[in-house]
Copies of this chain bind each other. A is one copy, B any other.
Amino acid sequence: MGFVSVLSYVHQLIGQRVASGDTVIDATLGTGVDACFMAKLVGARGSVYGFDIQQAALDQTEQRLAKELPDAHVHMSLCSHALMEAAVPQDRHGKVAAVTFNLGYLPGADTAIITEQASTIPALEAALRLLRKGGIVTIVLYSGHDGGSEEAAAVERWASQLPLAAVQVLRYQFANRSASAPYLLALEKR
């Protein structure tokens, strides 16, 4: 049967923790897969906030939604995910159910435009502040591209020192793939 893929495992973990009416965040819209998946979970009563620094990502997400979930709405911001706290309404702070990060570059676009630790770490800190107890942050890491291994190492360092009393950090990773294969760090707020 094979082990569940990293991306499917992300959706399993989120599916177990996000319900109709919840507020969730896609910190790296990319092609919109996570935003679309979470929009289905939270439904019309819920809210999805999405961020990306490239207009192409917002466009691709819009197209995916139009096709797969035409009634859904995602609040999209063309800015760094490090600014997510400004875009999410104050009354939802501390109540967010899930935040997804899919690091690296936008598939099919300029591979020089990548997420970098200088903004990724502040964004992760913001995500943890926005999260409710029992909420989850998922981080899919890639270390194959230029700058990827440095970013992955910085995220690993940051995650490994999080106090266990406040956050549980899980690694889900295929161990005999090339270094460029994606892997997951998942954070649950306690």
Seen from chain A, the residues whose Cβ lies within 8 Å of a Cβ on chain B are: 1-3, 13, 16-17, 134, 156, 159-164, 167-177, 185-186, 188, 190
The 6 closest A-B pairs by CB, nearest first: A169-B175, A169-B176, A171-B173, A3-B170, A171-B175, A162-B176
Which residues on the B side are within 8 Å of A171 (C-beta)? 171-175
Bound together, the chains give a CA A187 to CA B108 distance in angstroms of 33
Which residues on the B side are within 8 Å of A176 (C-beta)? 159-164, 167-169
Task: Determine if B175 and A3 form an interchain contact, defined as CB atoms under 8 angstroms apart.
Answer: no
A178 nearest CB across to chain B (Å): 9
28 contacts between A and B (CB under 8 A): A1-B17, A1-B134, A1-B188, A2-B168, A2-B190, A3-B13, A3-B168, A3-B186, A3-B188, A156-B175, A159-B175, A159-B176, A160-B175, A161-B176, A162-B176, A163-B176, A164-B176, A167-B176, A168-B174, A168-B176, A169-B174, A169-B175, A169-B176, A170-B172, A170-B174, A171-B172, A171-B174, A173-B173
How many copies of the polypeptide does the oligomer hold?
2
In the complex, besides A169-B174, A170-B173, A171-B175, 14 extra interface pairs with C-beta distance below 8 angstroms are A1-B17, A3-B168, A3-B170, A3-B186, A3-B188, A156-B175, A161-B176, A162-B176, A164-B176, A167-B176, A169-B175, A170-B174, A171-B171, A173-B173
Bound together, the chains give a CA A176 to CA B189 distance in angstroms of 13
Which residues on the B side are within 8 Å of A17 (C-beta)? 1
Bound together, the chains give a CA A1 to CA B170 distance in angstroms of 14
Q: Which of A17, A163, A170, A174 has the most CB of B within 10 A?
A: A170
Bound together, the chains give a CA A168 to CA B5 distance in angstroms of 11
